[in-house]
């Protein structure tokens, strides 16, 4: 079985090739980028399976996936990556990728997945596609405490320290300290700018 593995990380390429070539009948050719992979497919293909790193040089999203499939006479072409979101993996599968392989998968699972895809089936780790994606972290929100978020909402409403203190059942001096801390954390010159920074960050 002829496999082409294209990845710009030498350690990844060598490790995966070593695992795969321990299996009888598997021969792995490697490439460091998409352009080299395309030339190898043209000169030495078709391959039973082509595995492309989604973020290597020369790789242009799903367009490169489609090009590789054409060059490989529509034989299976899979995507491997260590960091793409689940939505991108699903999009690649919908576009005809033979599968999606996380770089963190176990060696035994890798061999099984390669044989599965080379036989014409589509592969993706069930856990990867069923687990919930973590919501992106709001960097501005991460800087502020819950109380500071309450105070900055008051600033955005145009409230004075006294009005914010009354609404939050705090001492006015405490609100004044929160405002000072807010300005420092948000790198704002004054309370108005702090409120605008919070608004632009989607906190209000």
User: What tens digit of pLDDT does each residue of 6-33 get?
Assistant: 999 888 898 889 889 998 999 999 999 9
Shared-domain flag, residues 179 and 97: no
26, 96: one domain = yes
Q: 62 to each of 59, 97, 203, how far by Cα in Å?
A: 9, 9, 34
Please check whether residue 33 is in contact with residue 57, taking contact to mean a CB–CB distance below 8 angstroms: yes
**pLDDT, mean over the chain:** 88
pLDDT at 61: 81
Burial class (CB in 10 A: 0-12, 13-18, 19+), 105: middle
Does 83 share its domain with 180?
A: no
pTM to 2 decimal places: 0.64
Q: Give Cα separations from 171 to 148, 166, 167, 191 (angstroms).
A: 14, 8, 10, 18
Q: By residue range, what is the domain housing residue 192?
A: 139-200
Identify the segments of the chain with pLDDT beneath 50.
Answer: 135
Say which residue the tokens 């040089």 belong to: 57
On whether both 20 and 118 belong to a single domain, the answer is: yes
């Amino acid at each position: 079985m002829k496999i082409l593995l294209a990845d710009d990380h030498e350690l990844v390429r060598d490790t995966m090739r070593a695992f795969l070539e321990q299996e009888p009948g598997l021969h792995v050719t490697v490439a460091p980028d998409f352009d080299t992979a395309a030339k190898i497919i043209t000169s030495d293909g078709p391959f039973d399976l082509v595995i492309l790193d989604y973020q290597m040089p020369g790789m242009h999203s799903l367009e490169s996936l489609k090009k590789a499939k054409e060059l490989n006479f529509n034989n299976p072409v899979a995507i491997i990556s260590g960091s793409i979101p689940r939505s991108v993996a699903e999009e690649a599968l919908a576009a005809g990728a033979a599968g999606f392989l996380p770089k963190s998968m176990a060696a035994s699972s890798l061999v099984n997945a390669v044989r599965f895809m080379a036989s014409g089936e589509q592969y993706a780790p069930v856990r990867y596609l069923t687990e919930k994606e973590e919501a992106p972290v709001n960097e501005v929100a991460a800087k502020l405490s819950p109380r500071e978020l309450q105070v900055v909402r008051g600033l955005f409403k145009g409230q004075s320290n006294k009005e914010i203190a009354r609404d939050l059942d705090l001492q006015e001096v405490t609100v004044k300290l929160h405002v000072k801390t807010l300005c420092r954390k948000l790198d704002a010159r004054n309370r108005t700018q702090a409120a605008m920074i919070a608004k632009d960050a989607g906190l209000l």
